[in-house]
Amino acid sequence: MEVLDGATINLTDDGPIAGDDNEDIFLQFGEDQADGTLVMDNGTINATGYSRVGILVGVSGNTPIAGNGVIDMTDSSINMTNLGDDELSFIVIGDQSNGTGDVDLVNSDIVSTTPNDRAFFGVGTDGGNGNVSLTTASELSMSAERVDVVLGEGSGSVAALSGDGSSNVGFVSTGEVNLEIGQSAGSNATVTLTDGSTFEVDGTFGRVQIGSDTLTTTSGSGLLSVDNSTFDSSVGIQVGSAFTGPNAQTGEINLNGGTVRAPEVVIGNGGSITGTGAVDAVTTVISGGFLSPGFSPGILEFTGDLELSSGSLLFEIGGTGLSMFDSILVGGSLFATDVFDIEISFIDGFLPSETDTFNLFKAASVDASFFSFANFVSNSPLSFNNSGGSVRVSFDGVAPVPIPAGLPLLLTGLGGFLFLGRRRCS
């Protein structure tokens, strides 16, 4: 199907009529082993109804084998409005184990509005494979009383959503809003934002889950990558599981000059924050997760409080210059509520002298609990001090230590330091 050169298609239900069953309005491409493609170039599709209104791309219907669907849009728009009461609006891309769906927007918009009920957005659901790409100031948005977004659902599912070139993705609710990125065991989901793009999750309550929120031995992952862009959530973010135990389903936030904003961010078991950028939250909690600033090296900034409640941190040191070692900036209080480990890795062959000092943390305030749980006890020569909110570390006569391959020397205690010389990571 093609909509080109200024063409407009209007799909309209007959409205609420007593005794009448209103018709569903679906834009459907690729179902039950069949392929379907929509190509739009300077075209418009308007769909307005009082029952279900949705887009289906690469799904299954009456058979267990799904189809392959494609939507390719350039300088075009799809506008969906659901005026019914207690009716669902939805967009599903890549459903069931054999389904593949691809949606590519170039300077184009898909906008769904459901003022009186809920909306669902799914990519790579029930084991399917879905991909959504937005470039050149494109927009993908859904607004409703409740919005649920699932990226990667079911073992073997693959979901990818990317925004580039000042594109915007938005899910806005007057009530509950939920976003899952690789939450289901065995699923793999990625959200990638680059070049000034934005991703908005807005509601009065709900959550964002990256990676599994339960313990599972089935491997999979959820990744949020923010490169010179912004991820903005009005609800809390959980990365990894809140439970303690083996968890092969990982969750990660990776920053490269980007910002993640939320009321609270919790990095749980199997979760991590890596890279260089800012976490703009009232409180960030490391609870069994992993924190690693920079790309050998770099700075991670937390605008609010940083609570360390188990888990581990990695700092890489390649020299004495400010741009040569990892550091963490905390706009609020730095404190601890449980044992945590700090790993220090010397890179590029660097070894410090006795006069070198490194400000690993800079905070508005450093609570005494930080030193109680970190404890800095090791059998390697080390000293530290807290000066005006800066946690400074220095080393006395550090020398190379021969370590068998694959066997790091982990110093124990109430959160110890690991000293390991290695080459620069990339």
pTM value is 0.90
Residues 331-348 as b/e (b if ≥16 CB within 10 A, e otherwise) read bbbbbbebbbbbbbbbbe
Q: In this structure, is residue 20 part of a structural domain?
A: yes
Specify the higher pLDDT residue, 354 or 112. Answer: 112
Q: In this structure, is residue 85 part of a structural domain?
A: yes
pLDDT surpassing 90 at residue 39: yes
Domain span at residue 35 reads: 1-174
Specify the higher pLDDT residue, 83 or 254. Answer: 254
pLDDT band at 405 (very low <50, low <70, confident <90, very high): very low
- Percent of the residues in the chain that have a pLDDT greater than 90, as a whole number: 64
Beta carbons within 10 angstroms of residue 17's beta carbon: 10
75-102 average pLDDT score? 92
Closest by CA position to 338, among listed 397, 289, 393, 403: 289
- Percent of the residues in the chain that have a pLDDT greater than 70, as a whole number: 87
Q: What is the pLDDT of residues 213-259, one digit of tens each?
A: 776 667 779 999 999 999 999 999 999 987 776 666 789 999 999 99
CA angle 193, 195, 198 (to 5 degrees): 50
Q: In this structure, is residue 410 part of a structural domain?
A: no
Q: In this structure, is residue 36 part of a structural domain?
A: yes
Q: In this structure, is residue 156 part of a structural domain?
A: yes
**What is the predicted pLDDT for the residue at 399?**
53
Q: 3: which 2 tokens?
A: 């909509």
CA 76 vs. chain centroid, Å, equals: 28
pLDDT surpassing 80 at residue 141: yes
How far apart are the C-alpha atoms of 105 and 108, rounded to whole Å?
Answer: 5
How far apart are the C-alpha atoms of 167 and 222, rounded to whole Å?
Answer: 21
Q: What is the mean pLDDT of the chain?
A: 87
How far apart are the C-alpha atoms of 75 and 44, rounded to whole Å?
Answer: 9
| 296 Cβ contact list (under 8 Å, min separation 6) | 316, 318, 347, 424, 425, 426
Domain total of the chain:
1
Specify the higher pLDDT residue, 383 or 284. Answer: 284
**What is the predicted pLDDT for the residue at 42?**
98
Q: In this structure, is residue 116 part of a structural domain?
A: yes
Beta carbons within 10 angstroms of residue 45's beta carbon: 22
Q: Which residues pair with 171 in a beta bridge?
A: 142, 201
Q: In this structure, is residue 8 part of a structural domain?
A: yes
Q: In this structure, is residue 222 part of a structural domain?
A: no
